[in-house]
Chain A
């Protein structure tokens, strides 16, 4: 099953490699990983998307907690949460394809960020599934580049991951 784990960690050099190293050393899956500082500059927040059965996810959270730099973590998928990922797609878009893309942009509520006579850069945000769906509808030979940020997320309501 897919899990989204949010981790608050000390904003120190090497913290990211401790997490990345843990996943490879212990043979855990990692679908995406994003990290950036929070409102408190001494803390970074990392969002990890991973897959595994219950016992694997239990080990992942325990092993992450065991890292000295990890302050706190939560498995967002344990309760209701919001998920957002950002994707930039550069498309080769002329003639009919251009019209088709413009319609999709409307349906998926995307933004067009850049236009040239032959290309478009589209920004799509949403849950990772929505991004997958947008990509699956595009003509494959029209896609030049896909850039995804990896998923981030936050719990709904008053529940929060803070120190």
Chain B
């Protein structure tokens, strides 16, 4: 089969099993767009800004476990994609971003729409390629998918100069069946000796804690984690990225930990004597002050990326390996030897945890005449029976979604945890909806974040993705306002959103349904009505209490045991 470079790009995507590409055309990728036009296997979703393309591909990837693909032109198309690439990088999401480049003879001449994409993205990709020879194109695309999806996943950029895709140069095409790179061998099941040591240690624990992150979601090991945790009957907490990998309504689940984690999860971390960390990376939002992090604990850490181990927190038993096979080995060892020496210690530990839990740290004022954002999320959970895909932007609304939407399944909670990218939610929701056309998809956002990628409402219209936008409108960049209240003497420097648009008219102008909700009693009916609209995007503008803060909170420089609790809530007796 003889194909041009442009046709090779599309054929390689087909051979890779890619069904959707999110993109935006431009000069350097016109040959590719022409090849795209002449076929039907790969469906192109036209976004309205390249940042949206990468976020949509990202949401697509997170909700399916398959790689997301974005296609952008050179120069500004490429630079617009960078925020989305960095977002995927920080959360280890498998993306392949194909960017156009100016023709090879003019590279380096400051040609029109030229930018050094490989140079710009180097620090925020797992790997990147500049294709300089059409004969290397198919191999390079194969490598890109291989690198993006194996080991610790991540985004890979393939920068393709325009002359490489020239329709007049046709070469024999064969997509490689497999790829082998001597410098990249990511597969690892974990060292059995280390795993044995870890199991011995965890069985001796008096106050154990299981702390797991996005690695369990990415490693498709939710089932194994659940089995492992139930075998041990130990308490478990998830990071922001790990929510859904263990059922949130299970009694062993203590909720999220970290800066806005629950009292019981954070206290459990502080007091535990053995910490079992799985697919989590000891992020600063999780650990708080490193010097007082888990001061009494021996730490076991399972991670596919050796560089994540002992990066910020020194661990006692490192296990480099994919989460799933390591958990399987652990389960096997536990089932061989079910003896736990001290069940009584565990009883005492659970009693302590129940006491912490009884504080009910996520309680909020249910009698307020204003709409409480927490209430909206609770109702969203009920109306969607906990089955929706929930994307979010970044800020208070993100934390409330994480705290109050009880995720029971992995891959349902889709947010920018690492980079914290405002503008992520809407395009990500569109990507999710494209991948899961029959699913309920909610984008929990705020009036500040939503404006950062609002143009994607047009994409939602064009492709009839029935996304439900839950805009928690408090007229502030809420999280900024909260920090300013706590740490800057309530000097709300530039965090008030003046001159907001009328979101109803805005949504309607894009062809969607817009609803404003101003009273608590209208919250549930509005959600029910919105989700009854299975074919339409509904933009719900909830006018919420502008003074509400996210609690608990570990302020900068504080430890897990130094949480700021909701006003009026005080701590009870603590374990000596």
A residues 20-79 in Cβ contact with B at 8 Å: 21, 25, 55, 58-59, 62-63, 65-66, 68-71
Contact between A10 and B183 (Cβ–Cβ < 8 Å)?
yes
Alpha-carbon distance between A55 and B314 when the two chains are bound, in angstroms: 9
Contact partners of B123 in chain A: CB under 8 A = 21, 25
Q: How far is the CA of A68 from the CA of B150 in the complex (A)?
A: 12
Q: Does A1 contact B (CB under 8 A)?
A: no
* Contact present for B118 and A14 (CB under 8 Å): yes
Complex CA distance for A161 and B126, rounded to whole angstroms: 25
A69 in contact with B122 (CB, 8 Å): no
A17 at the interface (CB under 8 A from B): yes
Q: Is the CB of A68 within 8 A of B126?
A: yes
Chain A residues within an 8 Å CB radius of B181: 68
A: number of interface residues (CB 8 Å): 20
Residues of A near B147 (CB, < 8 A) are 68
A21-B123, A55-B314 in contact; A66/B130 too (CB < 8 A)?
no
Contact A58/B310 with A13-B130, A21-B122 known, Cβ cut-off 8 Å: yes
Give the chain B neighbours of A58 by CB distance below 8 A: 310
Is the C-beta of A107 less than 8 angstroms from some C-beta in chain B?
no
What residues of B have a CB within 8 angstroms of the CB of A66 in the complex? 305-307
Question: Residue A129 at the B interface, CB < 8 A?
Answer: no
**Interface presence of A91 (CB below 8 A):** no
**Chain B stretch 120-163: residues in CB contact (< 8 A) with chain A:** 122-123, 126-127, 130, 147
The yes or no answer to B491 lying at the interface (CB within 8 A) is no
Which B residues touch A147, using CB under 8 A? none
Q: Is residue A163 contacting chain B, with contact meaning CB distance below 8 A?
A: yes
Partner of A55, one of B122, B126, B182, B310: B310
Residue of B nearest to A163 (CB): B182
- B502 CB → nearest A CB, Å: 43
A106 to chain B, nearest CB (A): 46
Contact A59 B307 (CB under 8 A): yes
> What mask results when residues 161 to 195 of chain B are scored 1 for a CB within 8 Å of chain A, else 0?
00000000000000000000111100000000000
Residue of A at shortest CB range from B124?
Answer: A25
* Residues on B with beta carbons closer than 8 Å to the beta carbon of A62: 306-307, 309
Interface centre among A21, A63, A66, A68 (most CB of B within 10 A): A68
Nearest-neighbour CB distance to chain A for B459, whole angstroms, equals 33
Quick check: is B501 within 8 A (CB to CB) of the other chain? no
Instruction: Select from chain B the residue with minimum beta-carbon distance to A69.
Output: B183
B519: CB under 8 A from chain A?
no
Residues of B near A13 (CB, < 8 A) are 130
A17/B307 contact (C-beta < 8 A), A68-B126, A68-B147, A71-B182 known = no
B296, CB-defined interface residue at 8 Å: no
- Chain B residues contacting A9 (CB-CB under 8 Å) are 183
Q: Which residues of chain B have C-beta atoms less than 8 A from A14's C-beta? A: 118, 122, 130
- Give the residue name and chain of the B residue nearest to A18 (CB): B122
Closest-by-CB residue of A relative to B314 is: A55
**Residue in A17, A21, A65 whose CB lies within 8 Å of B306:** A65
Interface residues on B, range: 10 to 19
Q: Provide the bound-state CA to CA distance between A59 and B309, in Å.
A: 9
Nearest CB on B from A39, distance (A): 16
A59 touches B311 (CB 8 A): yes
Residue B119 is within 8 A (CB to CB) of chain A in the complex: yes
Contact A68 B127 (CB under 8 A): yes
| Residues of A with C-beta under 8 A to B306 | 62, 65-66
Q: Chain A residues with Cβ under 8 A from B130's Cβ?
A: 13-14
Do residues A68 and B122 form an inter-chain contact, with CB atoms below 8 A?
A: no
* Docked-complex contact A70 and B183, CB < 8 angstroms: yes
Residue of A nearest to B128 (CB): A14
Q: Is the beta-carbon distance between A17 and B122 smaller than 8 angstroms?
A: yes
For B309, what are the chain A residues with a Cβ–Cβ distance below 8 Å? Answer: 62
Contacts of B184 in A (CB 8 A): 68
Chain A hits for B307, CB < 8 A: 59, 62-63, 65-66
0/1 interface trace, chain A 3-17, chain B, CB 8 Å (1 if under): 000000110011001
Kindly report which residue of chain B lies nearest to residue A59, judged by CB atoms. B311
Pair A71/B122 contact, Cβ less than 8 Å:
no
Using CB atoms, name the residue of chain A closest to B126. Answer: A68
> Which residues of B (301-315) have their CB < 8 Å from a CB of A?
305-307, 309-311, 314
**B175, chain A: closest CB distance, angstroms:** 21
Q: Which residue of B lies closest to A24 (CB)?
A: B123
With a cutoff of 8 Å between Cβ atoms, the chain A residues found around residue B305 in the complex are 66
Tell me how far the C-beta of B151 lies from the nearest C-beta in chain A, rounded to whole angstroms. 9
A9 vs B184: C-alpha distance in the bound complex, in angstroms?
11
In the complex, which residues of chain B have a beta carbon less than 8 angstroms from the beta carbon of A68? 126-127, 147, 181, 183-184
Complex-state Cα separation, A14 to B183, whole angstroms: 15
Q: Which residues of A contact B127 (CB under 8 A)?
A: 68
Inter-chain CA distance A161–B221, complex, in Å, is 36
Bitwise, B21-62 to A at CB < 8 A (1) or not (0) is 000000000000000000000000000000000000000000
CB-CB < 8 A to A65: which residues of B? Answer: 306-307
CB B442 to nearest CB in A, in angstroms, measures 36
Contacts of A163 in B (CB 8 A): 182
**B contact residues around A10 at 8 Å (CB):** 183
Kindly state the separation between the CA atoms of A52 and B118 in the bound complex, as whole angstroms: 29
Min CB distance, B217 to chain A, in Å?
21
Min CB–CB distance B304 → chain A (angstroms): 11
Assembly CA distance A156 to B181 (angstroms):
29
Chain B proximity of A149: nearest CB distance (Å): 26
**Residues of B close to A71: CB separation below 8 A:** 182-183
List 17 additional contacts besides A63-B307, A163-B182; criterion CB under 8 Å. A9-B183, A13-B130, A17-B119, A17-B122, A25-B123, A55-B314, A59-B307, A62-B306, A62-B309, A65-B306, A68-B127, A68-B147, A68-B181, A68-B183, A68-B184, A71-B182, A71-B183
A-B contact pairs, 15 of them (CB 8 A): A14-B118, A14-B122, A14-B130, A18-B122, A21-B122, A21-B123, A55-B310, A58-B310, A59-B307, A62-B309, A65-B307, A66-B305, A68-B147, A68-B184, A69-B183
The 10 closest A-B pairs by CB, nearest first: A62-B307, A68-B127, A71-B183, A25-B123, A68-B184, A66-B307, A62-B306, A21-B122, A63-B307, A10-B183
Q: Which residues of A are interface residues toward B (Cβ below 8 A)?
A: 9-10, 13-14, 17-18, 21, 25, 55, 58-59, 62-63, 65-66, 68-71, 163
